[in-house]
Amino acid sequence: MAGKVKVGIVGCGVISGIYLKNLPAFDLVEVVACADLLLERAQARAAEFGDPSGGRVMPKACRPEELFADPAVEIVVNLTIPRAHADVALAAVDAGKSVYTEKPLTVERAQGQDLLSRAKDKGVLVGGAPDTFLGGGIQTCRKLIDDGAIGEPIAATAFMANHGHEHWHPDPAFYYQPGGGPMFDMGPYYLTALVSLIGPIKRIAGSARATFPERTISSQPKAGEKIRVETPTHVAGTIDFRNGAIGTVITSFDVWAHTLPRIEIYGTEGSLAVPDPNTFRGPVRIRQGRESEWREVEVAHGWIENSRGLGVADMAHALRSGRPMRASGALAYHVLDAMHAFLDSSREGRYIELESTCERPAPLPVGLSATRLDD
Ligand SMILES: NC(=O)c1ccc[n+]([C@@H]2O[C@H](COP(=O)([O-])OP(=O)(O)OC[C@H]3O[C@@H](n4cnc5c(N)ncnc54)[C@H](O)[C@@H]3O)[C@@H](O)[C@H]2O)c1
């Protein structure tokens, strides 16, 4: 196949807005269809983002089955809620399409394994969010580490703590079901960044609890409704990376306030303060040897705005050229395996050795055009 890669979006809720805004800007991507269980949501998004006057064709709004059956669609971008990720991704793969899924890849490990193996049989690609690690902030960190600016990484911290999403998301129940919670919701940003910066994980020890058995929605339109909490909401633990580095992690929806950093990487020659991995931007700060102050390092790469969809564009280039994709299914599965390991370790009272591994995704070169990812 040649020419633009045609993309269909399944799941037209909150996050679909930024994908629909960003994807058409990439040279190699064309959004041709969007679908939702609720057809009116797909219709609304299609109308919002179609712009015939600007030369952009309005995507077809349809039901998911119609999108899977459309021979024009090459990549399905799966923006449904976590518990639907596996079914939607498998339906796409079974229809012979590559699929890029929002995080987490699936809820259960077995679903993720099934997805990867069926995609391999079908000869299609699987990719998974987040793609924030491809943003200018974390790619600048990656270059500093690869260039030896902090020596050999020996340790890292990763902290994400807040009081949950029921005060802003219009339909926040999924955040408190298996596949949600702070680890499965926010852990992917932090763990994907760590794997990209340090390398794959060997084993994990974790402790987990659910502090509040019930949450009350305060956002509209469901204000006042109760949510039963069915997954841990405070998860702490340690990571032993395969290269020997040791990570300390907290993810929490139970904390009102804190002064913790997001991610820091400690090396034999210095320390690196990594920006919020739920963004694409800086600041990147470093302290080398006995320097007495942190120094801000200029962000050397592009994509510092909210560039969700970058991983899909990278996948489109991988499809056309045959080069490996960066936000790959193997990476997303390794992160899923790690997230489960925190909870398994807490339940079973032992270290969990990870059965999965992955390659560190290739860094993005400095100076790429804003709309292409050829390398
Ligand atoms: N909201 C955010 O800020 C945010 C940020 C980053 C990532 N995400 C991720 O994006 C995904 C979606 O989150 P959201 O906030 O957009 O949720 P949402 O509830 O706003 O939207 C999900 C949409 O998927 C549809 N859907 C559910 N099951 C479906 C199925 N089987 N087939 C077709 N459509 C189906 C729903 O009708 C809904 O319109 C989640 O995986 C979430 O983790 C969300």
Give residue 13's Cα distance to chain centre.
17
> Is residue 88 in contact with ligand 1, taking CB distance under 6 Å?
yes
> Is residue 81 in contact with ligand 1, taking CB distance under 6 Å?
yes
- CA nearest 126: which of 373, 334, 333? 333
d(CA 312, CA 310): 5
Contact 246, 229 (CB under 8 A): no
Measuring CA to CA, how many Å separate 38 from each of 84, 183, 251?
14, 28, 32
**pLDDT tens string for the chain (375 positions)?**
789 999 999 999 999 999 999 999 999 999 999 999 999 999 999 999 887 666 667 899 999 999 999 999 999 999 999 999 999 999 999 999 999 999 999 999 999 999 999 999 999 999 999 999 999 999 999 999 999 999 999 999 999 999 999 999 999 999 999 999 999 999 999 999 999 999 999 999 999 999 999 999 999 999 999 999 999 999 999 999 999 999 999 999 999 999 999 999 999 999 999 999 999 999 999 999 999 999 999 998 999 999 999 999 999 999 999 999 999 999 999 999 999 999 999 999 999 999 999 999 999 999 888 888 877
Q: Phi and psi for 253 in degrees, rounded to 5?
A: -110, 15
Residue 301: both structure tokens together: 């790469």
Give residue 1's Cα distance to chain centre.
28
Inter-helix orientation angle 329-348/109-122, to 10°: 160
Strands (E), 125-233: 126-128, 153-161, 201-209, 214-216, 226-228
- Centre of ligand 1 to C-alpha 342, Å, is 24
Q: Which pLDDT value is given to residue 258?
A: 98
Q: Which pLDDT value is given to residue 370?
A: 80
Task: Give the residue whose CA is nearest to atom 6 of ligand 1.
Answer: 15
Pairing label, strands 352-353, 75-78: unpaired
Q: Which pLDDT value is given to residue 254?
A: 98
Q: Phi and psi for 239 in degrees, rounded to 5?
A: -120, 130
> Is residue 17 in contact with ligand 1, taking CB distance under 6 Å?
no
> How many CB atoms are located within 10 Å of the residue 114 CB?
16
Task: Give the residue whose CA is nearest to atom 44 of ligand 1.
Answer: 15
DSSP conformation letters of 277-325:
TTSS---EEEEETT-SS-EEEPP-SS--S--TTHHHHHHHHHHHH-PPP
For a pocket test of ligand 1, which of 9, 18, 43, 81 has the largest count of ligand atoms closer than 8 A to its C-beta?
81
Q: Which pLDDT value is given to residue 56?
A: 67
Q: Which residues contact 58 (CB under 8 A, 6 or more apart)?
A: 46, 47, 49, 50, 51, 52
> Is residue 103 in contact with ligand 1, taking CB distance under 6 Å?
yes
Q: Which pLDDT value is given to residue 55?
A: 63
Q: Which pLDDT value is given to residue 369?
A: 81
Pairing label, strands 75-78, 5-10: parallel
> Is residue 105 in contact with ligand 1, taking CB distance under 6 Å?
no
